[in-house]
Structure 1
């Protein structure tokens, strides 16, 4: 038999009764020192003292909370963190779209000019570019890679005008590219806001003084660039000007006739315009220069040396013409018109610089200055028109 004297450190107020080992009963203080006998073998190991330590991230969290409380800050909720992550992902996606838009535009301008240098028949080349875009959209719709729009007779009727003016703008720009340097055509095309303000004013729109003042540097810059352009050609200048008129009228008529078809997004709208523009353009192209295509083809192959080289130039110009327009419509769906206008202005700068470097076109100092003034005027115009739209939107909210 082992006799144990339980220490008060274990628990002086509790003892085990012999009759019922599982029950505990309190004893008087006087009986606490009496020995307790037990017939069962019993050993009591020494109980180690446990020390609970905080994990490092818990201590950091506590310190962060104390700092936030002292500075009056609050911890971000999971919703706020998710919103920030979504914003970062959206900005990354938009940056990729802008990068593709710029890259595809540069590739189009380079290979379009290469093809026109050896095959100076812009009507056929412009028709092929619309054909490539039409085939691209038909493939997307046929294989359900992109939702096919619901085509109705009223929609086709409403699309006739914008598609016609798109055709005029596209073929005129292609004619201009065939006769002058790409950089010069883009400088003249930066004057598009001038025509937009003039035509819209005739149709009843009013513009503040800031908008009218912004078109002055555009006119001055384009005039200076035209006078000092080394590759100046009246046909090239006229083509770029007519292109401005065509695209401005396309935008105006699209706004007026297609407002009731908002269920059709920008990409599908551009695909439908490409198909209808091809129907407009190709018969006229055959009439204008169709008799010269065979002879021009043989000359182009002879000058290039390898047929596949010429084919690749034409193919790349067609594919990237559609892709850069597709990217621009995707960007326009995600950003404000002001951001799009600024991006379009910067795109024109990038294209001008890239084509000058690739084709090594001579640029005089006054020509570069005029180009810079015209593009800066385009930037001022985009700022002024954005403020106008913001004021109009505020007035509409007040009326509602």
Structure 2
């Protein structure tokens, strides 16, 4: 006789026998094995016929096993995703706070700096006090160990002499410009800084793609249109803003060349050291240039303001917030890419221009506003073009390493 071993699940027509629970597990474990027809001795040898389990059942079992594994892994993956989302949200919030402080501090500095210069038109003393306030701030941070003090060496001081000198030139020239023209006009002219950067860097051997050169054309056109149509135009104010551009560009170029071997000093400490050395440069010259007029100018300022405390607050706020906005800019640069920083700096200039126009109610002609917009848009194009150049250079360096 032929013995047939079949599972009841594969033959619904058979009567299902009663089974105890202990046998159910063995049946399920045998479900994956093939079922054979067996022939007794004496019958012709026929290849064994195998009936395999239904593919539907195997797929169902695989699906269940995958679902079980996924459900077991879901808690960890969900926790990791939630933690990553929380970290990203906290980082974005921190960056937004840094940007907000950077913009707010810059606006406060420009407003109270201009208020002080309107009643006390001696930018050399005011610029010296701003560097003094920043120097005292850094000395407090270092003395009370609120921020790690950098390791000062003789080679570092020698390398710092050039950048500090150009920083001094850039800062005092900007203050002179602020004292003679509207704050908005000074910032429009200072948006031409990329033009000087490209020209000076090209003289020193750097090469730029065509897109960078084309991006500086709207900057030149916009600044020229804004200067021609400026209501408060003053040659001294224009010259001061242009010299400030030259000073800061040379500071950046010289810093890259002389401070490459001092990468252990972060941006905030570097700026603090530059502020102290710039004060040493500036104050003796300030005494020589306008020191004899300070006493008389002080009495006139108090008389025009009415309360000495008001004048003191203006000067103090201009000094403190000058250092704070520079500190925030260095912190923002540490957290974001140079391209994002350049775009943020461009937008910051727009915010400052609009804020000072609203506060001081400076008359703005339509052509002047158009020129300012063109110049600022040119700085945005420049930041985009230079970012692409840096990516290309970085890619070439990686290819060389590989």
- TM-score bracket for this pair, using the shorter chain length: 0.7 to 0.9
Deviations 1:24-77 (A, max 9, x none): 99999x999999999999999999999999999999999999999999997772
Deviations 1:151-189 (A, max 9, x none): 111111110000000000000000000000000000000
Report the Cα offset of residue 21 of structure 1.
27
Runs of 4+ in 1 over 4 A off after TM superposition: 1-28, 30-76
Report the Cα offset of residue 82 of structure 1.
2.1
Structure 1's 59 and 225: CA in aligned 2 closer, same or farther, altered over 3 A? farther
1:1-400 aligned at under 5 Å gives the runs 77=77, 80=80, 81-394=82-395, 395-400=397-402
Report the Cα offset of residue 382 of structure 1.
0.1
Asked whether the equivalents of residues 5 and 35 of structure 1 are also in contact (C-alpha less than 8 Å), the reply is: no
Asked whether the equivalents of residues 142 and 148 of structure 2 are also in contact (C-alpha less than 8 Å), the reply is: yes
Report the Cα offset of residue 301 of structure 1.
0.4
Give the superposed CA RMSD.
Answer: 10.9
Asked whether the equivalents of residues 17 and 24 of structure 1 are also in contact (C-alpha less than 8 Å), the reply is: no
Structure 1's 39 and 323: CA in aligned 2 closer, same or farther, altered over 3 A? same
Query: How many pairs are equivalent?
Result: 399
Q: Distance in 2 between matches of 1:51 and 1:92?
A: 66
Asked whether the equivalents of residues 15 and 24 of structure 1 are also in contact (C-alpha less than 8 Å), the reply is: no
Structure 1's 67 and 342: CA in aligned 2 closer, same or farther, altered over 3 A? farther
Q: Distance in 2 between matches of 1:124 and 1:85?
A: 48
Structure 1's 47 and 257: CA in aligned 2 closer, same or farther, altered over 3 A? farther
Asked whether the equivalents of residues 34 and 51 of structure 2 are also in contact (C-alpha less than 8 Å), the reply is: no
| Runs of 5+ consecutive residues of structure 1 not aligned to the other structure | none
Structure 1's 11 and 365: CA in aligned 2 closer, same or farther, altered over 3 A? closer
User: What secondary structure sits across from 2:61 in the alignment?
Assistant: helix
Q: Distance in 2 between matches of 1:39 and 1:71?
A: 43
Structure 1's 15 and 325: CA in aligned 2 closer, same or farther, altered over 3 A? same
Report the Cα offset of residue 91 of structure 1.
1.0
The 10-residue stretch of structure 1 (187-196 or 61-70) with the greater mean CA deviation from structure 2: 61-70
Report the Cα offset of residue 88 of structure 1.
1.3
Report the Cα offset of residue 398 of structure 1.
3.8
Structure 1's 267 and 63: CA in aligned 2 closer, same or farther, altered over 3 A? farther
User: What secondary structure sits across from 1:88 in the alignment?
Assistant: helix
Report the Cα offset of residue 18 of structure 1.
32
Structure 1's 181 and 38: CA in aligned 2 closer, same or farther, altered over 3 A? closer
Structure 1's 3 and 330: CA in aligned 2 closer, same or farther, altered over 3 A? closer
Q: Distance in 2 between matches of 1:72 and 1:34?
A: 28
The 10-residue stretch of structure 1 (85-94 or 219-228) with the greater mean CA deviation from structure 2: 85-94
Asked whether the equivalents of residues 186 and 237 of structure 2 are also in contact (C-alpha less than 8 Å), the reply is: yes
User: What secondary structure sits across from 2:264 in the alignment?
Assistant: coil
Deviations 1:347-396 (A, max 9, x none): 00000000000000000000000000000000000000000001100134
Asked whether the equivalents of residues 34 and 53 of structure 2 are also in contact (C-alpha less than 8 Å), the reply is: no
Report the Cα offset of residue 244 of structure 1.
0.1
Structure 1's 307 and 17: CA in aligned 2 closer, same or farther, altered over 3 A? same
User: What secondary structure sits across from 1:13 in the alignment?
Assistant: coil
Asked whether the equivalents of residues 345 and 375 of structure 1 are also in contact (C-alpha less than 8 Å), the reply is: yes
Structure 1's 121 and 19: CA in aligned 2 closer, same or farther, altered over 3 A? closer
Q: Distance in 2 between matches of 1:15 and 1:330?
A: 80
User: What secondary structure sits across from 1:205 in the alignment?
Assistant: coil
Report the Cα offset of residue 223 of structure 1.
0.1
Report the Cα offset of residue 253 of structure 1.
0.6
Q: Compute the TM-score of the two structures, normalised by the length of structure 1.
A: 0.82
Report the Cα offset of residue 87 of structure 1.
1.6
Deviations 1:287-339 (A, max 9, x none): 00000000000000000010000000000000000000000000001100000
User: What secondary structure sits across from 2:152 in the alignment?
Assistant: coil
The 10-residue stretch of structure 1 (349-358 or 89-98) with the greater mean CA deviation from structure 2: 89-98
User: What secondary structure sits across from 1:91 in the alignment?
Assistant: helix
Asked whether the equivalents of residues 163 and 274 of structure 1 are also in contact (C-alpha less than 8 Å), the reply is: yes
Q: Distance in 2 between matches of 1:305 and 1:45?
A: 125
Asked whether the equivalents of residues 36 and 49 of structure 2 are also in contact (C-alpha less than 8 Å), the reply is: no
Structure 1's 142 and 32: CA in aligned 2 closer, same or farther, altered over 3 A? closer
Asked whether the equivalents of residues 14 and 27 of structure 1 are also in contact (C-alpha less than 8 Å), the reply is: no
Asked whether the equivalents of residues 13 and 32 of structure 1 are also in contact (C-alpha less than 8 Å), the reply is: no
User: What secondary structure sits across from 1:72 in the alignment?
Assistant: helix
Deviations 1:225-274 (A, max 9, x none): 00000000000000000000000000001111111111111000000000
Report the Cα offset of residue 124 of structure 1.
0.1
Structure 1's 53 and 159: CA in aligned 2 closer, same or farther, altered over 3 A? farther
Structure 1's 34 and 174: CA in aligned 2 closer, same or farther, altered over 3 A? closer
Report the Cα offset of residue 85 of structure 1.
1.7
